[in-house]
């Protein structure tokens, strides 16, 4: 498993002037502009035909069809519905990968777009709409656009490009495995490990049309935890006749907050412990037998993440035992690690990001406490994740509906920027060789 470099704060990243002046970057940009109508058409098809995690059957079939039309030979059925293809360059060189997620969310669309989703399905026992409310439709279209440009230039590529279309980024259904972790477990990199993996996420994490990223931890790990506190049921008028799990649970919840504020180094990285659900009791005058709760843990440092897991269990068990109760604490093993951009790769690609940004200077991102399972690739090889800002016409960054909203939309003109970025990153990396 890849070990991350130490991640000191990089105050400045110097852009190397005139990178690879022998490469006609303008021809790539012209190709992105020419293919833009096709990219928009692809995005609208994916938007109108969304599918939930591990159920992206029509989506993966459409992706495979498009790749086959390019003359590629995609492999399908990886991690249920994942699609992978390799563009073999005409010259010897390294392997690099670019990745898109392909799943949608159980959200009933309310955008009013002419290509809005009308798909309905069942999720967790309830009927719901399905919508690409997080930009994955755009991610697929941008990667396909870059694939077309790179494939048309494959004879000149000094290396190869792996195209990864990954299912279940939003999380596999209960009782199932999926996403990046399952793709890797099923041998995504079995034949060859790419020297670098690049990913883009569109939405509200950057000003419209701008690119932002940072070295080191960029997005938090995400772990679901559960806790059952068992006491002894009794009459509410005689609490001494039993053990009150509600009072014990309240003490545990408050103690959890001291882990993040008093037990870990807050100057090293932030962390969050949240309780999302707590349930116990059925009547006002009955002290119940048990209370169960669940929540989320967010962290940016792997060691801190592991410490928080252990500290929460230790705290819950000790408090419960002090009151004569018991505590059963567990962290879901299907958690997602933090997205940690490789320092050296960020520094190396920063001039590329600036070149694609044009007159708008690249911005360093503040860490985000949301999660992305792109992080699993970064545990195996060098990785770089970039946010592309986009808001629908008529909105500003402040007024635009957020990702996961039933009103979420993008400005399709920003798709061209994403296509350019994927293509520039790949060509730059392959042309420069690994440091």
> Domains of the chain: which residue ranges?
25-216+339-432, 221-331
Q: Do residues 373 and 302 make contact, with C-beta atoms less than 8 angstroms apart?
A: no
| 342-378 core/surface letters (b: 16 or more CB in 10 A; e: else) | bbebbbbbbbbbbbbbeeeebbebebbbebbbbbbbb
pLDDT for 9 beyond 80: no
243: left (phi over 0), alpha (psi -120 to 50) or beta: beta
**How far apart are the C-alpha atoms of 38 and 144, rounded to whole Å?**
10
The two three-digit tokens of residue 53, written as one number: 């995690």
pLDDT digits 0-9 by tens, 306-318: 999 999 999 999 9
Give per-residue burial for 272-292: e unless 16+ CB within 10 Å, then b: ebebeebebbeeeeebbbbbb
pLDDT digits (tens, 9 = 90+) for 387-410: 999 999 888 889 999 999 999 999
Count of alpha carbons within 13 Å of 190, Cβ hemisphere only?
9
Token pair in block for residue 287: 């002290």
pLDDT, position 397: 87
Mean pLDDT of 74-92: 98
Provide the pairing of β-strand 158-166 with 91-101.
parallel
pTM of this structure? 0.92
Answer yes or no: is pLDDT of 379 > 50.
Answer: yes
Contact, 40 vs 416, CB < 8 A? no
Digit-coded pLDDT (tens) for 291-301: 999 999 999 99
Answer yes or no: is pLDDT of 3 > 70: no
CATH code for residues 25-216+339-432: 3.40.630.10
pLDDT at 19: 53
The 10s digit of each residue's pLDDT in 230-281 is: 999 999 999 999 999 999 999 999 999 999 999 999 999 999 999 999 999 9
Which CATH architecture group holds 221-331? Answer: 2-Layer Sandwich (3.30)
Q: Is 258 left (phi over 0), alpha (psi -120 to 50) or beta?
A: alpha
Mean predicted lDDT score pLDDT of the chain = 94
Domain pair 25-216+339-432 / 221-331, same fold? no
Separation of alpha carbons 83 and 57, rounded Å:
11
Tell me if residue 406 falls in helix, strand or coil.
coil
User: Among 12-16, 43-47, 97-101, whose mean pLDDT is lowest?
Assistant: 12-16
Of the pLDDT bands very low, low, confident and very high (cuts 50, 70, 90), residue 433 is low
Structure tokens at 266: 């807050």
Give the C-alpha separation, 72 to 54, whole Å: 24
């Amino acid at each position: 498993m890849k070990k991350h470099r130490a991640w000191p704060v990089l105050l400045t990243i110097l852009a190397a002037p005139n990178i690879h002046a022998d490469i006609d970057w303008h021809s790539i940009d012209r190709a992105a502009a020419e293919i833009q109508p096709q990219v928009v058409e692809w995005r609208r098809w994916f938007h109108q035909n969304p599918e939930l995690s591990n159920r992206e059957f029509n989506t993966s079939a459409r992706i495979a069809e498009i790749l086959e039309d390019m003359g590629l030979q995609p492999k399908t059925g990886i991690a249920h519905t994942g699609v992978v293809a390799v563009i073999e360059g005409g010259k010897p060189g390294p392997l690099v990968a670019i990745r898109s997620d392909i799943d949608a969310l159980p959200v009933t669309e309310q955008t009013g777009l002419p290509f809005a989703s009308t798909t309905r399905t069942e999720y967790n026992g309830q009927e719901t709409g399905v919508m690409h409310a997080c930009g994955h439709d755009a991610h697929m279209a941008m990667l396909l656009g870059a694939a077309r440009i790179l494939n048309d230039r494959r004879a000149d590529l000094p290396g190869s490009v792996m195209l990864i279309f990954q299912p279940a980024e939003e999380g596999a259904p209960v009782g199932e495995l999926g996403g990046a972790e399952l793709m890797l477990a099923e041998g995504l990199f079995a034949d060859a490990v790419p020297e670098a993996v690049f990913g883009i996420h569109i939405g509200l994490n950057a000003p419209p049309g701008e690119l932002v990223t940072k070295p080191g931890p960029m997005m938090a790990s995400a772990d679901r935890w559960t806790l059952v506190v068992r006491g002894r049921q009794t009459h509410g008028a005689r609490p001494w006749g039993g053990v009150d799990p509600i009072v014990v649970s309240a003490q545990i919840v408050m103690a959890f907050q001291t882990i993040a504020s008093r037990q870990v180094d807050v100057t090293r990285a932030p962390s969050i412990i949240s309780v999302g659900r707590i349930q116990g009791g059925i009547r006002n005058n009955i002290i119940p037998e048990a209370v169960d709760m669940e929540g989320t843990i967010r962290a940016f440092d792997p060691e801190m993440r592991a410490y928080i897991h252990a500290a929460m269990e230790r705290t819950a068990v000790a408090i419960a035992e002090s009151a004569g109760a018991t505590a059963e604490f567990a962290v879901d093993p299907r958690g997602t690690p933090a997205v940690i951009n490789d320092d050296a790769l960020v520094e190396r690609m920063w001039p590329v990001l600036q070149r694609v940004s044009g007159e708008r200077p690249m911005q360093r991102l503040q860490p985000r406490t949301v999660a992305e399972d792109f992080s699993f690739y970064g545990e195996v090889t060098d990785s770089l994740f970039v946010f592309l800002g986009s808001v629908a016409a008529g909105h500003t960054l402040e007024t635009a509906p957020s990702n996961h909203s039933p009103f979420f939309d993008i400005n399709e003109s920003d798709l061209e920027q994403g296509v350019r970025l994927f293509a520039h990153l790949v060509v730059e990396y392959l042309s420069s060789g690994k440091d």
